[in-house]
A = this chain, B = another copy of it.
């Protein structure tokens, strides 16, 4: 307890300052991303909005791309894998979680990443990482169900993943219809109908 009341050492204050400006840069990047998509983010504009000098930004992120990657990967943390003991409720929880994320403002950034990925190798890697994060928890839930004999080992996990994530992403980005829990649960029910 006593130690906490001591004045912070200069190094700690320096670290705090660095952390604060990094946070401000990432927040400004996020704001620009959701407002204008990937192509709307320039280091100039991030500097202007965050009040952090360009030289400082480039000290932490050597390029615009690395800043984009960092901002995007912070937005796409891996969901935790539910373990309800039944594949249906596990997948329902995951599907509802993905639907909830896609209702958030940052989801609007996704098409600009996918668009850039069509032409830019570095952004294709970023897109692939974001997608892997989204998919990983679903794959784990499927594999656990296969281990306990609830799903046949012959079940192609990637096809089941497509049957779950596909219709949800389709609703958000292609048909732009409401993406509620009832829809997400129906998707899981339909996906699990075919068990081979």
Contact = CB atoms under 8 A, between A and B. Distances in A.
A175 B135 contact: yes
Interface residues of A, number: 41
Contact of A108 (B36, B118, B176, B187): B118
A170 B186 CA distance: 18
B163 A169 contact: no
A166 B111 CA distance: 15
Interface in A105-163: 108, 111-112, 114-115, 117-119, 124, 127-128, 131, 135, 158-159, 161-163
Protomer copies: 2
A37 interface: yes
A161 B183 CA distance: 13
A173 interface: yes
Contact of A190 (B165, B175, B193): B193
A176 B39 contact: no
Interface in A36-74: 36-37, 39
Interface of A: 36-37, 39, 108, 111-112, 114-115, 117-119, 124, 127-128, 131, 135, 158-159, 161-163, 165-171, 173-177, 183, 186-187, 189-191, 193-194
17 contacts: A37-B115, A111-B115, A114-B173, A131-B176, A158-B175, A159-B186, A161-B175, A162-B166, A162-B175, A163-B190, A166-B166, A166-B171, A189-B194, A190-B190, A190-B193, A193-B193, A193-B194
Given A159-B186, A166-B169, 19 more contacts: A37-B115, A108-B118, A111-B115, A114-B173, A128-B176, A131-B174, A131-B176, A158-B177, A162-B167, A162-B170, A163-B187, A163-B190, A166-B166, A166-B174, A169-B174, A189-B194, A190-B191, A190-B193, A193-B194
